Amino acid sequence: MNDIDKESNIYNGAVALVDILGYKEMLCEPIEYVKDNIIDRLIETIETANSITNRERHRFNRVSNNDEEYSTKIKYMFYSDSFILYIESDNNCKINSIENTLDSLCYALCIILDISFRNNIALRGAVSYGEFYLKKCPFIMIGKVFTELSELEKSQKWAGIVLSEELEKFNYSNQFTVTYATPLKCKDGDREMKVLNWVFFKANYITTTDKSIDFERCFDSDREDVRIKKENTINFYNKMKGLNAYTI
């Protein structure tokens, strides 16, 4: 089941749903511009994150075995203003355990968030784990995990990535996460949730990009809801920057 186009398309593993914020406004530009400057950049970013995660996995995977070939290759699919990333787990293989696949996906997502911000692309999403069905042609996406991820992604008022309630029940955490009062759209407002702490990952993957983050360009809109998302994102960035960096 390593190839999404094989007969069996049922997967069990770590999965993330990520939304490109401001995509509707981006589509005011020619389609070719959006493809070249948004989608192609994101594909390049995901491939970069894949390469770095495979290179650095010995620094964060909980179980390692040098005699066993293993790849944390993250598969991905784009559809409209969102994309799915996933890594299949093998419970019979300790190095490809639930924890290790989640660690690899979270590490890669931190890199993707950081590089995307520096390319003026704001992303928002959620990470979970479970069984799902994916097929490229015709495009089919089935699974309770996707419903949970979609609702969770849409509920946030910022650019960032949260961990699902399923992972909270599983009591999953890693060195890439932090508990934070996450801004939500519900009437109760902020809620303490585990989120990806992408702020410190520039130091961990060295000089992938030297661009600074320009939040004004990431949230280029006069709309009130966009202004709130920008402020919430900047607040998180400043708070995490003020903490001591955890070097893995």
Residues 98-127 pLDDT 10s: 788 888 899 999 999 999 999 999 999 999
1 in any annotated domain: no
User: Could you tell me whether strands 82-88 and 161-163 are parallel, antiparallel, or unpaired per DSSP bridges?
Assistant: unpaired
Apex 74 CA angle, 72 and 80, nearest 5: 175
Residue 74 belongs to some domain of the structure: yes
If you search the block for the tokens 């479970």, which residue do you land on?
130
What integer pLDDT is reported at residue 42 of this predicted model?
96
Q: Tell me the CATH number at 142.
A: 3.30.70.1230
Looking at the domain assignment, is residue 248 inside a domain? no
Residue 89 to residue 101: CA distance in whole angstroms: 6
For residue range 59-95, what is the model confidence (pLDDT) as tens digits? 666 655 443 445 567 889 998 899 999 987 755 555 5
> Does 246 reside within a domain?
no
Dig out the tokens for 89 from the structure.
Answer: 């787990």
Report if residue 179 sits inside a domain. Answer: yes
Residue 230 within any structural domain of the chain? yes
Measured CA to CA, the distance from residue 62 to residue 41 in angstroms comes to 31
Residue pair 21/220 in contact by the 8 Å Cβ criterion? no
What is d(CA 155, CA 135) in angstroms, rounded to the nearest whole number? 27
Domain that holds residue 216: 10-241
Q: Which residue has the higher pLDDT, 243 or 11?
A: 11
Could you tell me if residue 5 is inside a domain?
A: no
- Tell me phi and psi for residue 2, to 5 degrees: -85, -20
- CA distance linking residue 118 with residue 116, whole number of Å: 5
Predicted local confidence at residue 71, as pLDDT: 54
Q: What are the pLDDT digits (tens) for 167-208?
A: 877 777 777 889 999 999 987 789 999 999 998 765 455 544
- The whole-model pTM stands at 0.86
Mean pLDDT confidence for 238-245:
75
- Overall number of domains in the chain: 1
Q: Is the pLDDT of residue 4 over 50?
A: no
How far is it, in rounded angstroms, from Cα 52 to Cα 146? 27
Question: What DSSP designation does 36 have?
Answer: I
Any domain includes 116: yes
